[in-house]
Amino acid sequence: MGHIRVVATAFVLAMGATACGAAEVAVLSTPTMKGAFNELAPAFTRATGHTLVLTFEGVPVLKRQIEAGEKFDAAVLLPAAVDDLARLGRIAAGSRSDFARTAAGVAIRAGAPKPQVASRDDLKRTLLAATTIAYSSDSVSGSYFLRLLDRLGIEGEVKPRLLAVTGRSPVDAVARGEAELTVITVPNIVGVEGVALAGVLPDELQNYTTFSVGISANASEPKAAEQLIAFLHSPVAVAAIRSRGLEPVAP
């Protein structure tokens, strides 16, 4: 972590070191960061000359791929996943840098009446009233949602009305009218056509998710990956992160 802090504090120097040649930086990322990277990728190229080659997939899937030997330069995952992969020697020890976090919220179809979700009882009533609820069967947010139903004591009543979604976001199912709502991290809702944010979950049930970036132990472009980490803590990146419903995390 120490050398990453040095890079982050020397951001201007890092950004100025691009004359040596542009690189293609292979980045594996949770799809939660897709909206932010739509802004961050071109800004990073303007600042450094490097190009991000982005692959988006759920954290459990990416973790399995990395464990199996997938080639990459940097990975944007959850802190525990980065730490596990560092212990396995797949991510460079000490390279992890937390840079953003977000809350979970409820997505509904655009134009639909907004249900109440601000309190435990409000959320419980909303979930019990929904005809169909989409969730991702192979993601961290999907696992959290199933645990949430159990915590609320309504798993048995709601489970027959769940729509398990694979290969796409459950938000897409809401936008298409296949499901009435979904519970997922806010960046997966903000700015997505066809859906709206009904509200964030109450504090007592909230699940804040932190996002971390780590450098591959076998990176083809380790210096460019270090520049990416520095960039993710820059003022330009912080603005893009906030615009997508995330909170920046200081290095």
> pLDDT of 196-248, one tens digit each?
999 999 999 998 999 999 999 999 999 999 999 999 999 999 999 999 889 99
Q: Residue 139: pLDDT band by 50, 70, 90 thresholds?
A: confident
The pTM for the full model equals: 0.77
> pLDDT of 56-112, one tens digit each?
998 999 999 999 999 999 999 999 999 999 999 999 999 999 999 999 999 999 999
Question: Helix (H, G, I), strand (E, B), or coil: what is residue 108?
Answer: strand
In which element (H, E) is residue 245 found? none
Res 55 pLDDT > 80:
yes
Q: Which residues are CB-neighbours of 182 under 8 A, at least 6 positions away?
A: 106, 107, 133, 134, 135, 145, 170, 171, 173, 174
Asked if 133 contacts 180 with a C-beta cutoff of 8 angstroms, the reply is yes
Question: Helix (H, G, I), strand (E, B), or coil: what is residue 69?
Answer: coil
Q: Residue 21: pLDDT band by 50, 70, 90 thresholds?
A: confident
Q: Which residues are registered as beta bridge partners of 135?
A: 164
Q: Which residues are CB-neighbours of 155 under 8 A, at least 6 positions away?
A: 146, 149
- Residues counted in the chain: 251
Res 8 pLDDT > 50:
no
Q: What pLDDT was estimated at residue 50?
A: 97
Question: Helix (H, G, I), strand (E, B), or coil: what is residue 162?
Answer: strand
> pLDDT of 164-208, one tens digit each?
998 899 999 999 999 999 999 999 998 899 999 999 999 999 989
Q: What pLDDT was estimated at residue 210?
A: 95
Asked if 79 contacts 99 with a C-beta cutoff of 8 angstroms, the reply is no
> Tokens 């139903």 correspond to what residue?
149
